[in-house]
Copies of this chain bind each other. A is one copy, B any other.
Amino acid sequence: MLSNPRRTVLPLLLLLCVASAAAGPRAREAGVPFDGDPGPQDAITDVAGVEVGQVTLISGDGTLVVGKGPVRTGVTAVFPKGKAYPGFVYGGTFVANGTGEMTGRALIDELGEFTGPVVLTGSGSVGVVRDAVQAWYARRTGGDPEETFPYTLPVVAETFDGMLNDTFGQHVTKEHVFQALDGAHAGAVAEGSVGGGTGMVSHGYKAGIGTASRRVLVGGVTYTIGVLVQANHGGRDQLTIAGVPVGRRLAAAPPLPPKEGSIIVVVATDAPLLPHQLRRLALRATHGIARVGGMSGTTSGDLFIAFSTVRPEKAGDAMLQTRYIDSLAINPLLAGTVLATEEAIVNALFAGGTMKGINNHVVDGLPVERVRAILRDAGRLREP
């Protein structure tokens, strides 16, 4: 039932029945031209310290029975400085369209700080995930109220997977969340129909989790911007890849209902930035979404969070000290956020794969070869 590699092969077989394997290339490998210079993984984990843990729940088929399935959901956790790090990081948030949830946002807006992780899931599981994150920390502290208090405002965000998943069946449990948190790791990040993105649909095609990164130079130092999205937004006719209106040229596929869905964007960086500067990075996810044709529809929950892995140091009693990049010099970081967001969304689409869910509803994966042909016709395919 779980895509966690430590699980046995049985659930994997089940997975193969309901979701075509997303074994294809990532967008960049397939020749989609993107601006900017990615990191080695082209993933949020290119930011040193960031760890991602995911649990994918796929089981059942056929008619929806609330509480029984079919199940197409999961959890994706992003730790800013690794799962063992107990403290706060600077953060900033931005809401391009607020019909969605990101818990913990008031704290970040107020103090400019939060304790990780940022956890993404389906709309029906925000509560259980939130309490589970708290419980996970309480396990670590022994539940002492004083020591656990800093962890009482977890950051959990959602998009709605009701097109494929038994959203209200509460299939995500505390144990699943613990598994995602405990399993967080650096390195490659699975994309598409995994983790919180398992049941998600974007621009009319199966999508979910996507990630990308950019390396930028500021003041002679190279910094990394990493982005991870849970993409469940956008209409097919809006889909634009590398500036080409791909969506409208993919006419054969039957149109989906014009649900505009939602998208959560997590932006990580190793650049030293103050909280109000991180909010500025978070806002630029909007520009990245727009480059893929998204317009933040009226019921779309487009909520973004950015954090830095650089922490202040103690500088005396009640005093901290920090370095940060001059606001006049942060354009490369803003641009990196725009570009990595754009690519992460396209990556989510390339990795989505076709999936059948509730009531035998089928959501097509992006027809990658046809997309490549369209880009080639427009002179926008990077041939190998």
Contacts and interface: CB of A to CB of B under 8 A. Distances in A.
A301 interface: yes
Contact of A379 (B110, B290, B379): B379
A220 B318 CA distance: 9
A43 B356 CA distance: 46
A32 interface: no
A153 B99 contact: yes
Given A280-B97, A284-B295, A338-B295, A124 B113 contact: no
A244 interface: yes
A183 interface: no
A146 B299 CA distance: 13
Stoichiometry, as copies per complex, reads 4
Contact of A328 (B143, B287, B299): B299
A334 B153 contact: no
A367 interface: no
A312 B323 CA distance: 9
Contacts of A242: 243
A131 interface: yes
Interface in A271-314: 272, 274-276, 280, 283-284, 286-291, 294-299, 301, 303, 312
Contact of A290 (B169, B272, B290): B290
A42 interface: no
A253 interface: no
Interface string A160-175: 1011001111100000
Interface stretch (A101-109, A185-193, A207-215): A101-109
A128 B126 contact: no
A293 to B, nearest CB: 9
A329 B379 CA distance: 37
B296 A284 contact: yes
A111 interface: yes
A10 interface: no
A61 interface: no
Interface stretch (A77-85, A132-140, A347-355): A132-140
Contacts of A383: none
Nearest to A284: B295
A130 interface: yes
A116 interface: no
B327 A319 contact: no
A290 B229 CA distance: 19
B98 A107 contact: yes
Contact of A338 (B134, B149, B290, B326): B290
A106 B105 contact: yes
Contact of A131 (B110, B170, B316, B335): B170
Contact of A303 (B67, B106, B142): B106
A325 interface: yes
A98 B109 contact: yes
The listed residue with most B CB atoms (<10 A of its CB), out of A107, A109, A242, is A107
20 contacts: A95-B109, A95-B110, A99-B153, A102-B106, A106-B303, A112-B276, A127-B134, A143-B166, A143-B168, A143-B169, A148-B162, A218-B318, A243-B245, A286-B290, A287-B294, A291-B291, A298-B327, A318-B329, A320-B324, A321-B324
